[in-house]
A and B are shown apart, each in its own frame.
Chain A
Amino acid sequence: GESVGLHLPTLSVQEGDNSIINCAYSNSASDYFIWYKQESGKGPQFIIDIRSNMDKRQGQRVTVLLNKTVKHLSLQIAATQPGDSAVYFCAENRAGGGADGLTFGKGTHLIIQP
């Protein structure tokens, strides 16, 4: 069936380096994609989002890239800090618009090495 998935379950990076977390999706009708950060025992925290009519969107230290041709989404975190350690989920809007329940990817655990 259609799903959103991640290539790597765990990513370990050195503090100060850039991190890239990848996500593949299969529903070509998806219109809206979001990255969430989840710390242990807490709810997901919104990081950044992007719509299907965009290829790139930048926030503070984060950039999301969307490649609709290969149905690929990535989250780039610049100059990673210890506080970036968490599980990162990509999510998609199933209906292609409007406020519908999200389909989440499996998650990538980002580990920051000192």
Chain B
Amino acid sequence: GAVVSQHPSRVICKSGTSVKIECRSLDFQATTMFWYRQFPKQSLMLMATSNEGSKATYEQGVEKDKFLINHASLTLSTLTVTSAHPEDSSFYICSAVRDRSTDTQYFGPGTRLTVL
């Protein structure tokens, strides 16, 4: 159990357009999901914490108006990159927590975003 999926796995878009990435917990309910960004040859950097039914909490330096997060249900969180630019090209990875008391985060397979 504890499978997390992401869709799409890869997306290429034109500069100025918006892209939505979905993160789903397939076999458990996740009250909390996290969004990370990973540039090539670098580590994962936390972008925001997404709690079901409430506003996301963004890390310092992450623009909330650019990276819109919606956690509408216990199994789905979406990240929308608005007005994407080439510098937004990155690997976006989500994770989900089944039970806050256990701490373990299960990661999705990631979404490769390329902005032309």
Binding site for B on A (CB under 8 A): 32, 34, 36, 41-46, 49, 89, 93, 97-107
Interface residues contributed by chain B, number (CB under 8 Å): 27
- Tell whether, in the assembled complex, residue A98 and residue B46 are in contact, meaning their CB atoms are under 8 Å apart: no
**Chain B residues near A41 (CB-CB < 8 A):** 110, 112
CB distance from A75 to the nearest CB of B (A): 15
Binding site for A on B (CB under 8 A): 4, 6, 32, 34, 42-46, 49, 59, 93, 95, 97, 99-110, 112
A-B CB pair tally, cutoff 8 Å: 58
- Tell whether, in the assembled complex, residue A43 and residue B49 are in contact, meaning their CB atoms are under 8 Å apart: no
Contact of A99 among B43, B100, B107, B108 (CB under 8 A): B100
6 closest A-B pairs by CB:
A101-B46, A99-B100, A43-B107, A99-B97, A104-B43, A104-B44
